[in-house]
């Protein structure tokens, strides 16, 4: 470490290790994890080469456990583990937590979350960080930057003290678009992240990626010099930490240029050239993040209500909106239903409190040894299914081999959970159906809902509140294909049923039934859609070879049941999104961040992970949308769109569909080069619509209007009942 005579800019590379890919298969060549092995060995060689020059770089590593750390790396590249262990033992590097299953953490139940993080430290299969490495920090770098606000308290109970995700200037981001621009001191220092609902908090350490270097002329040296100028302008100059985080298999670490041209753009010519280009700067030093956190206070606090993920549109589009995502998640839900039924029987038979259901060890410890072993095996299988790799980032479709593996695992998880339920029934002499554990009848009733189905198939629902008339519009199915929106042609439309066709060369039919539930005055929709088959073309051949499948790239958007929640309301009426997470916690966020990055509207918004419902309100009236999981089920089933024109906004919801459009612009942008580079090279920034080509979906929805901002608890109960049973009572 350099002599301490003034404020310093510390620099640390962090390598995100996951050999289990959605784009590639499970072979040890370039079509599988061979690329990971090659690049990580190169990283370690570069670090050793730097040491021979007297440059000692402190690095951080995070791993998934069950796939990479516990199986693939020990079997195919044990030398990598030994070399990283050696660096940790002598104090050069450190390990950060990811999750045992590189999991879709925001869609985990509290029970699953506790195991995914707990097993990342110490696991039954010996793959935990502390099973493999001598030490592990209390810093978590969640897979794909995924976070739901209620998890802050869960992390703290597991001993995790700091969360680290992207705060970036490009569309590969954690929270860069959800808060006003942070000053230099906050951007490169720990912050306090506060959950507005529970008031729980934990430290947040922002990270950047290679796209942020591109913002400064593709130069880390130029970026650090620019940061230095801003640092010295501070009234009380403080240290800063630049944490550069990228996948360990990214070509960035070995370099995009051949060695003979590496001098031209050293920051993008491999780790060795990047580090040597900045090591001579007198104000730059290297440090492990845990050491920086131990000696530096928080530089501020922020509150984020969104569910975070670094996919397209800074949300869950890349994992939730493909057709195969819905099919797989419906299987996850089926397995969970058997599991929950068994667990609730165990809790009831042993007089345990309901809260015991959040703690696997607490309720499973009462089981006979053989039955407990089956419980461990069953939930471990489901956790594997919940790997993000089984849902994305791959776009517009999944790798064939990976999708097959995911489907087989999901089927196994269902069989194991059903077997577990049967054995619990036999052990305790009880019989029960899953439905016994759904919530009870709701007392909710809205004001009278007037329903109108027009000749063109559009649905209008009008509710007269004491202060205003609320109107909701539900459109007929449409597809954007080959840069043109193709609307439905309605063949039959009466008081209860509408039928029509979608045509992309060949005609396919759709139908939906609509009724008002008289007791609750809510709108119930059942929709069956068959999407057309088209010629597969326009796909990238190299990418298709890796995914082992082709697609029709002309598909851009699909909307089976688009809802216009608010039309042409003033921007001053900030809309709030409400959602209930998989722990039953109701959270919210404001649709006001269109302004932070000079966005003229937001083409797609999906930061609301929920098993049952979401709601939208302008402060005066609201609309709640619930999904019937008895048909198709999604964990983030309803992307939104905010269109802005002449100071007014229109908010649309697209349940079981997918929007596409311009990626966000960010307040951190300097030149815009990073964003441009990401749009040209990022493999996940593609529409999910091609995955629907030739497929069929059957969905059920409940739509309810209400007054005020937060949806009333009675309505939330009704929505959950509908989601779990398909009924309103």
The domain boundary residue, chosen from 437, 469, 498: 437
346 and 297, same structural domain?
no
Structural domain of 467: 449-725
Mean pLDDT of 552-580: 97
Distance CA 73, CA 86 (A): 16
Sheet hosting strand 696-707, strand order edge to edge: 489-493, 497-503, 507-517, 522-530, 696-707, 621-627, 613-617, 576-580, 586-590
H/E element holding 470?
strand 469-474
Instruction: With CA atoms as reference, report the closest residue to 220 among 239, 243, 237.
Output: 243
Shared-domain flag, residues 195 and 64 = yes
Q: How confident is the model at residue 141 (pLDDT cuts 50, 70, 90)?
A: very high
β-partners of residue 264 are none
HSE-CB at 383 with a 13 A cutoff on CA atoms is: 27
Please report how many Cα atoms fall inside a 13 Å half-sphere around the Cα of residue 152, on the Cβ side: 22
CATH code, 25: 3.20.110.20
Check residues 2 and 265 and name the one with the higher pLDDT: 265
Q: Which two tokens stand for residue 223?
A: 């970026």
Contact 15, 21 (CB under 8 A): no
Query: What is the number of domains present in the chain?
Result: 3
Residue 442 included in any domain: no
Give residue 24's pLDDT. 83
Is 3 a domain residue?
no
Q: Which of 729, 109, 724 is nearest to 435 (CA)?
A: 724
**Over pLDDT 90: what percentage of the chain?**
86
Find the mean pLDDT for residues 32-57: 97
Q: How far apart are CA 67 and CA 84, in angstroms?
A: 18
pLDDT at 4 over 70: no
- Report yes or no on 277 lying in a domain: yes
Alpha-carbon distance of 552 to 691, in angstroms, equals 9
Region 425-440 average pLDDT: 62
Residues 204-238, buried b or exposed e (16+ Cβ, 10 A)? bbbbbbbbbbbbbebbbbbbbbbbbeebeeeeebb
pLDDT band at 441 (very low <50, low <70, confident <90, very high): low
Q: What sign does the CA torsion over 521, 729, 111, 15 have? A: negative
Query: Are 627 and 694 found together in one domain?
Result: yes
Instruction: Give 26 or 568, the one with higher predicted confidence.
Output: 568
Q: Rounded mean pLDDT of 684-689?
A: 95
Q: What is the pLDDT of residues 472-515, one digit of tens each?
A: 999 999 999 999 999 999 988 777 889 999 999 888 999 999 99
Q: Are residues 397 and 469 in the same domain?
A: no
CA–CA separation, 23 and 337 (whole Å): 30
Q: Is the pLDDT of residue 2 over 60?
A: no
Q: How far apart are CA 328 and CA 523, in angstroms?
A: 27
Q: Would you say the pTM of this structure is higher than 0.85?
A: yes
User: Which of 437, 468, 498 lies at the terminal end of a domain, its last residue?
Assistant: 437
- Give the range among 41-55, 111-125, 468-482, 639-653 with minimum mean pLDDT: 468-482
Mean pLDDT over 14-36 rounds to 91
Q: What confidence score (pLDDT) does residue 344 get?
A: 95
**CA-to-CA distance for 536 and 550, rounded, in angstroms?**
7
Same domain for 605 and 665, yes or no, is yes
Same structural domain for residues 564 and 516? yes
Question: Contact at 8 Å (CB) between 616 and 577?
Answer: yes
Q: Compute CA distances 431 → 160, 263, 339, 417, 593, whole Å.
A: 40, 72, 14, 15, 50
Compute φ and ψ for 374, nearest 5 degrees. -65, -40
431 and 543 fall within a common domain: no
Has residue 620 been placed in a domain? yes
* Three-class SS state of 578: strand
Residue 444 in any domain: the answer is: no
List pLDDT tens digits, range 348-366.
999 999 999 999 999 999 9
Cβ-based neighbour number of residue 302 at 10 Å: 17
Is residue 443 in a domain? Answer: no
CA distance 422 to 436: 16
User: Rounded to 5 degrees, what are φ and ψ at 290?
Assistant: -65, -35
Question: Do 461 and 584 belong to one domain?
Answer: yes
**pLDDT at position 433 over 60:** no
Q: Each residue of 385-411: pLDDT tens digit? A: 999 999 988 899 999 999 999 999 999
pLDDT digits (tens, 9 = 90+) for 196-227: 899 999 999 999 999 999 999 999 999 999 99
- Tell me what pLDDT residue 465 has: 81
Q: Are residues 195 and 296 in the same domain?
A: yes
pLDDT average, residue stretch 621-630: 96
Distance CA 619, CA 50 (A): 58
- Whether the per-residue pLDDT at 665 is higher than 60: the answer is yes
CATH number for 680: 2.70.98
d(CA 385, CA 473): 37
Q: Is residue 95 pLDDT above 90, yes or no?
A: yes
Beta bridge partners of 461: 451, 472
Say which range, 87-91, 331-335, 344-348, 468-472, has the weakest mean pLDDT. Answer: 468-472
Q: What is the pLDDT of residues 277-310, one digit of tens each?
A: 999 999 999 999 999 999 999 999 999 999 999 9
Instruction: Assign 435 a pLDDT band (cuts: 50, 70, 90).
Output: very low
Q: Does residue 114 carry a pLDDT above 70?
A: yes
Do 301 and 326 lie in one domain? The reply is no
Are 105 and 57 within one domain? yes
Residue 517, in any domain of the structure: yes
Q: How confident is the prediction for the chain on average, in pLDDT?
A: 94
Q: In this predicted structure, what is the pLDDT of residue 438?
A: 45
- Are the C-beta atoms of 102 and 388 separated by less than 8 Å? yes
Phi-psi region of 199 (alpha: psi -120 to 50; beta: other; left: phi over 0): left
For residue 654, is it within any domain? yes
DSSP-derived secondary structure for 669-715: -SSSHHHHHHHHH-TT-S-SGGGGTT-EEEEEEEEEEEESSSPPHHH
pLDDT over threshold 60, residue 5: no
* Co-location of 486 and 590 in the same domain: yes
Final residue of a structural domain among 402, 437, 472: 437
Q: In the block, which residue shows the tokens 């690095």?
A: 59
pLDDT tens string 225-256: 999 999 999 999 999 999 999 999 999 999 99
Q: Is the pLDDT of residue 439 over 50?
A: no
């Amino acid at each position: 470490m350099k002599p301490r005579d003034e404020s310093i800019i510390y620099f640390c590379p962090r390598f995100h290790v996951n050999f289990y890919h959605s784009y590639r298969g499970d072979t040890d060549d370039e079509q599988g994890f061979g690329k990971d092995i090659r690049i990580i060995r190169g990283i370690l060689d570069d670090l050793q080469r730097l040491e021979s020059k007297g440059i000692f770089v402190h690095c951080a590593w995070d791993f998934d456990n069950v796939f990479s750390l516990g199986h693939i790396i020990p079997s195919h590249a044990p030398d990598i583990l030994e070399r990283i262990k050696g660096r940790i033992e002598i104090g050069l590097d450190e390990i950060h937590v990811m999750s045992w299953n590189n999991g879709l953490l925001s869609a985990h139940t509290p029970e699953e979350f506790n195991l995914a993080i707990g097993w990342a430290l110490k696991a039954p299969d010996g793959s935990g960080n502390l099973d493999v490495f001598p030490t592990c920090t209390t810093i978590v770098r969640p897979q794909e930057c995924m976070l739901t606000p209620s998890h802050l308290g869960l992390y703290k109970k597991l001993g995790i003290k700091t969360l680290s995700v992207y705060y970036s200037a490009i569309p590969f981001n954690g929270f860069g678009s959800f808060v006003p621009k942070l000053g230099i001191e906050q951007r490169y220092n720990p912050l306090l992240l506060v959950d507005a609902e529970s008031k729980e908090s934990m430290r947040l350490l922002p990270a950047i990626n290679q796209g942020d270097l591109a913002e400064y002329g593709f130069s880390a040296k130029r970026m650090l010099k620019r940061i230095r100028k801003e640092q010295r302008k501070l009234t009380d100059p403080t240290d800063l930490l630049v944490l550069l985080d990228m996948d360990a298999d990214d070509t960035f670490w070995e370099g995009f240029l051949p060695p003979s041209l590496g001098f031209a753009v050293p920051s993008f010519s491999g780790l060795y050239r990047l580090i040597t280009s900045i090591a001579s700067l007198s104000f730059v030093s290297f440090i492990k993040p845990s050491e920086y956190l131990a000696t530096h206070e928080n530089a501020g606090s922020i509150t984020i209500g969104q569910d975070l993920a670094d996919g397209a549109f800074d949300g869950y589009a890349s994992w939730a909106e493909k057709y195969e995502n819905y099919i797989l998640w419906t299987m996850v839900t089926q397995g969970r239903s058997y599991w929950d039924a068994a667990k609730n029987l165990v809790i009831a038979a042993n007089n345990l409190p309901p809260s015991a259901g959040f703690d696997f060890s607490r309720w499973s410890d009462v089981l006979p040894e053989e039955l407990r072993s089956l419980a461990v095996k069953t939930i471990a299988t489901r956790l594997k299914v919940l790997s993000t790799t089984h849902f994305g980032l791959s776009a517009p479709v999944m790798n064939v081999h990976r999708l097959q593996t995911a489907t087989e695992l999901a089927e196994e998880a269902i069989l194991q959970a059903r077997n577990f339920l049967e054995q619990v029934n036999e052990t305790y002499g009880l019989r029960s159906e899953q439905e016994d554990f759904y919530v009870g009848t709701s007392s909710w009733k809205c004001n009278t809902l007037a329903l109108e189905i027009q000749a063109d198939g559009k649905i209008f629902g009008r509710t007269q509140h004491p202060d205003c008339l609320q109107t909701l519009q539900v459109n007929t199915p449409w597809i954007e294909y080959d840069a043109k929106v193709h609307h439905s042609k309605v063949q039959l439309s009466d008081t209860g049923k509408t039928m029509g066709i979608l045509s992309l060369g060949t005609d396919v039919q759709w139908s939906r039934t609509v009724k008002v539930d008289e007791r609750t005055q809510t709108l119930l929709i059942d929709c069956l859609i068959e999407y057309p088959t088209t010629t597969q073309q326009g796909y990238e051949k190299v990418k298709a070879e890796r995914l082992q499948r082709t697609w029709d790239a002309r598909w851009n958007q699909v909307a089976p049941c688009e809802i216009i929640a608010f039309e042409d309301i003033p921007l001053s009426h900030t809309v709030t999104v409400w959602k209930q997470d998989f722990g039953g916690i109701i959270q919210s966020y404001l649709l006001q961040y269109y302004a932070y990055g000079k966005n003229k509207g937001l083409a797609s918004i999906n930061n609301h992970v929920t098993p049952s419902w979401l709601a939208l309100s302008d402060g005066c009236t609201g609309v709640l949308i619930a999904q019937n999981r008895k048909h198709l089920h999604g964990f983030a089933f309803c992307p939104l769109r905010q269109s802005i024109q002449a100071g007014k906004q229109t908010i649309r919801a697209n349940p079981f569909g997918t929007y596409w459009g311009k990626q966000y612009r960010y307040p951190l942008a300097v030149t815009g080069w990073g964003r441009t580079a990401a749009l040209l090279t990022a493999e996940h920034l593609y529409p999910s619509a091609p995955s629907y080509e030739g497929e069929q979906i059957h969905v059920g929805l409940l739509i309810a209007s209400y007054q005020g901002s937060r949806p009333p608890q009675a309505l939330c109960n009704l929505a959950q009942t509908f989601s779990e049973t398909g009924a309103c009572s």
